[in-house]
Structure 1
Amino acid sequence: MSGDPRGGGALHRRVHARAPGKINVFFEVGGVGDDGYHPVASVYQAVSLYEDVWAEASAEYTIAVTGDVDVSGVPLDESNLAVRAARLVAGRLGWDGGIHLDVRKGVPVAGGMGGGSADAAAALVAVNELLEGHLSPLELQGLAAQLGADVPFAVLGGTAIGTGRGDELAPALARGRFDWVLVTSDEGLSTPAVYGELDRLRSLPDITPDYGVPRIDPGVLQALRGGDVTALAGAIHNDLERAALSLRPGLGDLLAEGRAVGALASVVSGSGPTVALLAADADDARRLADAAASRRLTAFAAHGPVQGARIVAP
């Protein structure tokens, strides 16, 4: 596809897409395999903190990033996941020009909430629309799987079970609305470092279980299906929390403070360092966020499930 497939339209359009961050309501990690990867069993929920991406045709592949969160650590070169996503879908469609992306981030950077993956998902959707590619959501999820384990879920959204490396997805029924408060940290955590610490802790000389094939706790799925926030509070779990706390002991204080101010449950989200507090309802979430702010913590009220990457009408 040389130039514009519609006689110049792409060269004069700017397409806006939006994708959500996520939390891991449940996350179990198996033993590391010979390939260096860990099988996981996860329940993802997309929440109402968003990444916005605008795509337009350009001579080269470029990106600019702003945000409501600290974006100083976001790469602005070819290593950026959104740029890789734009190249991937444009290559699939035969586009031989470039793409410029403007990204506005609302998901904490390196916070275990999949912000970079949401950027990539939004870029896939935006460039597909820009170039009138007509790739289906399933085709976009296939491209997303080439970019990272969390990207397919950012395309799908809602609530889903993730297995394998986390990118083998099956939608999960979740009735009603679940309200969360996300408490962020000034310094991120490296996902590979957290997995490495998990392996180190599991290798310590104590009586440990055989970390085989991870499985979802049925109680989590039952609570989601029933819209039962109290039952969900009792079933939330994250295997990576232990490793995140080992690397960043102060997160234990955040978890305890969340429970102290009335959260139904508190858990490290994904590889951290963001802490997710489960609230009884929207009013309770606002109260928890205000309580966190009074303690000089950075907190965002959000709810889920919300839909995945989508085009935002002009």
Structure 2
Amino acid sequence: MSITVRAPAKINLHLGVGAAREDGFHPLVTVYHAISLYDDVTAVAAEAWSTPVDGAAYVDLASVPAGEDNIAVRAGQLLAQRHGLSRRAALSTYKSIPVAGGMAGGSADAAAALVALDRLWGTGTPDDQLLALASRLGSDVPFALLGGTALGTGRGEIVEPWEDNGAWWWVVVPSEVGLSTPAVYRHWDALFPDAPAEPPPAHRLVGALKTGEPLRLAAALHNDLEAAAIDLRPDLGALIEKGQAEGALRGLVSGSGPTCVFLCAGAEEARAVAAGLAAEHPVVLTAHGPVAGAHVLPDA
């Protein structure tokens, strides 16, 4: 028996950051948005953990941790521990979410593994308990379970579904060179030493989502980390300018980067922007959102 679960990439429509707390974490107010780039995880009972990985040609599969360093395995171990089980599984992953791109591909894999193994083992874990396990794995994992559009607080791990009346189209441009999330946060700390303890709220963004109007959403997109990411990587700023010149309503660094995303007026406009950027960038993807969180795929 095998169970395959699909989980989406995320982008941050709003990312407000507060000054670092004593424990080193930055409080966040973010609006997560799930888009139609996915990783699929297939779970099969096995005597030992294994993590075979395949994926789209543009995904750097060599950067995906193997064995017990893989977050999907850690998710399985946590679920087994929660239910007092000694079971293991082979977790085969097909990745379409860029690696180390600020789109939470690892978190998607962890969420997919939790759902797949819960179904495979018949443990019937309640949703609130799955979310609690997910929060122990990483700040973005609970949202990968939830999907859609959601407000995230705390370190981003406290998620609440949010009203979204739009059908949004995006162009996604990953980078061939990674950008360290801790480095971006450290640089943000250096750029904004007097940042307030409380992150800026997402009121404007939330209001734009309710209207379903692309121009309203474009004007409300916000990322506190963007300045730090662009200061470290000026090429990201140039990419955003190019995408907007090609017709995107707005370009934005996704999370801590280095992936950049571009909101477009519709599907046709997204294809046109993608074509304009493809001349200079080897990987340019189109996607729509919001889409569902981690969910079991029907048998082929």
Pairwise TM-score range, normalised by the shorter structure: over 0.9
Residues 178 and 281, structure 1, Cα contact 8 Å, conserved in 2: yes
Q: Which deviations, in whole Å up to 9, do the C-alpha atoms of 1:261-305 show, x marking residues without a partner?
A: 010000000010000100001111111111111233411100110
Residues 43 and 216, structure 1, Cα contact 8 Å, conserved in 2: no
Q: Which residue is 1:10 aligned to?
A: none
Q: Which residue is 2:244 aligned to?
A: 259
Q: Which residue is 1:143 aligned to?
A: 133
1:301 match: secondary structure = strand
Distance 1:161 1:140 in 2: 18
Q: Which deviations, in whole Å up to 9, do the C-alpha atoms of 1:111-136 show, x marking residues without a partner?
A: 00000000000000000000011112
Q: Which deviations, in whole Å up to 9, do the C-alpha atoms of 1:130-164 show, x marking residues without a partner?
A: 00111122221111000010000000000000011
Distance 1:253 1:77 in 2: 38
Distance 1:94 1:276 in 2: 42
Is 1:241 matched with 2:231? no
Residues 266 and 276, structure 1, Cα contact 8 Å, conserved in 2: yes
Aligned length: 297
Residues 31 and 202, structure 2, Cα contact 8 Å, conserved in 1: no
Quote how far apart the aligned CAs of 1:200 are: 1.7
Q: Which amino acid aligns with 2:28?
A: V
Q: Which residue is 2:298 aligned to?
A: 313
User: In terms of Rg, which structure is larger?
Assistant: 1
Segments of structure 1 that go 5 or more residues without pairing to the other structure are: 1-12
1:166 match: secondary structure = coil
Q: Which residue is 1:188 aligned to?
A: 178
2:237 match: secondary structure = helix
Segments of structure 2 that go 5 or more residues without pairing to the other structure are: none
1:133 match: secondary structure = coil
Distance 1:176 1:259 in 2: 21
Q: Which residue is 2:113 aligned to?
A: 123
1:146 match: secondary structure = helix
Distance 2:50 2:18 in 1: 38
CA-based RMSD of the aligned residues comes to 1.1
Q: Which amino acid aligns with 2:134?
A: A
2:186 match: secondary structure = helix
Q: Which deviations, in whole Å up to 9, do the C-alpha atoms of 1:32-91 show, x marking residues without a partner?
A: 010000000000000000010001111111111111122111110312111100111122
Q: Which amino acid aligns with 2:78?
A: L
2:6 match: secondary structure = strand
2:122 match: secondary structure = coil
**Alignment TM-score, normalising by the size of structure 1:** 0.92
**Alignment TM-score, normalising by the size of structure 2:** 0.96
Is 1:212 matched with 2:197? yes
Q: Which deviations, in whole Å up to 9, do the C-alpha atoms of 1:153-185 show, x marking residues without a partner?
A: 000000000011001111110013011110110
Is 1:25 matched with 2:10? no
Q: Which residue is 1:167 aligned to?
A: 157
Counting aligned pairs with the same residue, the percent is 47
Q: Which residue is 1:58 aligned to?
A: 46
1:25 match: secondary structure = strand
Q: Which deviations, in whole Å up to 9, do the C-alpha atoms of 1:1-45 show, x marking residues without a partner?
A: xxxxxxxxxxxx111001000000010100001000000000000
